[in-house]
Structure 1
């Protein structure tokens, strides 16, 4: 146990992580069992350690553990929690929970038998905590950690503490918000860098970001999808090929028949693989209103713009990047459906959005919100595209 405490203290004291994630404020930390899901690379481990940092002066009350440890091949999580609790532990932070057999059953046991012990665990975005783990039904409060928003990226880069704004506030007060923000920073000076490498916090590491992201993407495919969805490893090349083919056409209506021929598998398998890629936060699917999986989506986007540059380092389609950015920022709290050629997105079944490269010719239709690139401030229904990066 002492070895875990030493590791815990070292990790927390050496955590180079200073921007506060919005999710930290959204979680009800009083809940006894909290699951934090997120795609690989978005900072789940750092998020747990940032939460643990506030308990450093109470050394025995909070402990971070990683279930990748070989220690847990010989000792049960239940026994560990029992010892931790008897020695004064009250907050157990568990990373990589899905690497441990029977994890959901043992978490339920801990939850029911140690009512004063709070457990926070992380898992892959591919996991279905409640649907696929009946042990946790009605027991776990589930949250999603996303990559950095543009706001979080700017805050980390500048040390400023800009707050997030909800969509209605942005649409109503965007002129004043843009004025306040641009009086302190030039957002467009950071925007292209964010599109290239700002979504995944490991850009902070002193290593090659593109290589790190490629490695992370392959681990998403090899572990988060094939392991959790129990796909034989021999089919991994088909998954990788499918992601590449989708990225070359995105955003486009997937031709399932053509894709099935190209990767030499059935149409049903292609549809399933596309859904798995969505669950792993590698793509976003755009459907008409009142339609959803298993129907074929209208369009498939990459989940975030960083992925486009990882797959193709010479990627250079600003319109698609801007649409991908807007979809990703809106997706956290809003339902996005396909619209028409004039307004490609319909948000919450009522707000029409168009994404434009410049302000020329925009604003004429008062029923459309124009998200426009390369402007610091907007007017009426013309809103700077970058400002939607302040939604979370």
Structure 2
């Protein structure tokens, strides 16, 4: 354990507090067992270390990744008990999906070592409430999204910009935009964000960012999905083919028969593969609110999860219409219920209808639709029910 404590101190010393993700202020850190899920590269590890550096007694805390070689000959429950015996109060566990018996041993820690608070991160693939040991009554779960447009600006410029609720944006967008325009030029920043602003590691090297993003995608499919679903090499190859097929066409209404032929999978296998890619944070499925959704229900429309993935996987498909729709869907994901609209493009929380378009977009599609708005691209400020599309990047 001594080596783990030394490694933790080394990581803490290298952890910067300059930029912190939105979720760090939304978690109730007093819970005994906290789960933080999110796609690889979204910043879960850094957030955990930042919390420890700011708020925990580092002498009674320990951070460890579950793929550490320590666990070749040691168990997680054993580490927890030994750490508690020497006065440990907080155990921070990274990437629990890489440890075979994670759910069973977390349950044992919760029940047998109640004085130890445990915070763990995992792949977005992990279905905590469907694990072999029931953690639904024990773990409080949070999801870390990719960076919002607001966070990207804060990260890029150092400005302190606050987020707004959807209702605030809808009612007060002109006033919000007016204040923001005194500090930023949103359109050039927005174009940068669409290309490389979703994941914090773009700062390391912008020129190599898309190649690193492709490497991250491969790790998600080969390691994260495989660690949770135990898929075969053949299925890994099919998932990569499917993701590329989606990237070159999305957003689109999938033809399941043609897609099945293209990647060499059955209809049921293809739909399951799409759902695996969605759980992994790589694609988004959308349906109409009246449609019943089952495990074999094909999505009515498919999107890549964010615009950075579009640039990395299929730059030829990054036309402005595809980018703005993909951005809009991404910013609302896990914040609101989003459906395809019968009139207009999207229905949010089954209440607000949005049409998405350029600066010349008219209101024809949403004429006489209650609570309807146009999210327009390439404008700095809106009026009435016309709102700049970039402003929907300030929801978190």
TM-score (norm: length of structure 2): 0.95
Q: CA deviation at 1:12?
A: 1.7
- SS for the counterpart of 1:387 is helix
Equivalent-residue separation in structure 1 for 2:6 and 2:368 (angstroms): 60
Equivalent-residue separation in structure 2 for 1:203 and 1:11 (angstroms): 20
Corresponding residue pairs, total: 390
Q: 2:379 aligns with which of 375, 379, 382?
A: 375
**Deviations for 1:113-152, whole angstroms, at most 9, x for unmatched residues?**
2222110001111110012343313111111011110011
Q: CA deviation at 1:17?
A: 5.2
Equivalent-residue separation in structure 2 for 1:113 and 1:206 (angstroms): 45
- Contact 2:98–2:227 (Cα < 8 Å) also in 1: no
Q: CA deviation at 1:235?
A: 2.1
Q: CA deviation at 1:204?
A: 1.7
The aligned counterpart of 1:107 is: 106
The aligned counterpart of 2:73 is: 74
- SS for the counterpart of 2:128 is coil
- Contact 1:17–1:46 (Cα < 8 Å) also in 2: no
The aligned counterpart of 2:217 is: 217
Please, which runs of 5 or more residues in structure 2 have no aligned partner?
A: none
Equivalent-residue separation in structure 2 for 1:140 and 1:100 (angstroms): 17
Equivalent-residue separation in structure 2 for 1:160 and 1:166 (angstroms): 19
Q: CA deviation at 1:98?
A: 1.4
- Contact 2:147–2:198 (Cα < 8 Å) also in 1: yes
What does residue range 32-181 of structure 1 map to in structure 2 within 5 Å? Answer: 32-55=32-55, 58-181=57-180
User: Per the alignment, do residues 390 and 168 of structure 1 end up closer, same or farther by CA in structure 2, a change over 3 Å counting?
Assistant: same
- Contact 1:55–1:62 (Cα < 8 Å) also in 2: no
CA RMSD of aligned residues (A): 1.6
- SS for the counterpart of 1:322 is helix
TM-score (norm: length of structure 1): 0.95
Q: CA deviation at 1:314?
A: 4.3
After the TM superposition, which parts of structure 1 deviate over 4 Å for at least 4 consecutive aligned residues? none
- SS for the counterpart of 2:299 is coil
The aligned counterpart of 1:317 is: 319
- Contact 1:241–1:263 (Cα < 8 Å) also in 2: yes
User: Per the alignment, do residues 293 and 310 of structure 1 end up closer, same or farther by CA in structure 2, a change over 3 Å counting?
Assistant: farther
Please, which runs of 5 or more residues in structure 1 have no aligned partner?
A: none
Q: Which moved more, 1:355-364 or 1:31-40?
A: 355-364
- Report whether the alignment pairs 1:389 with 2:393: yes
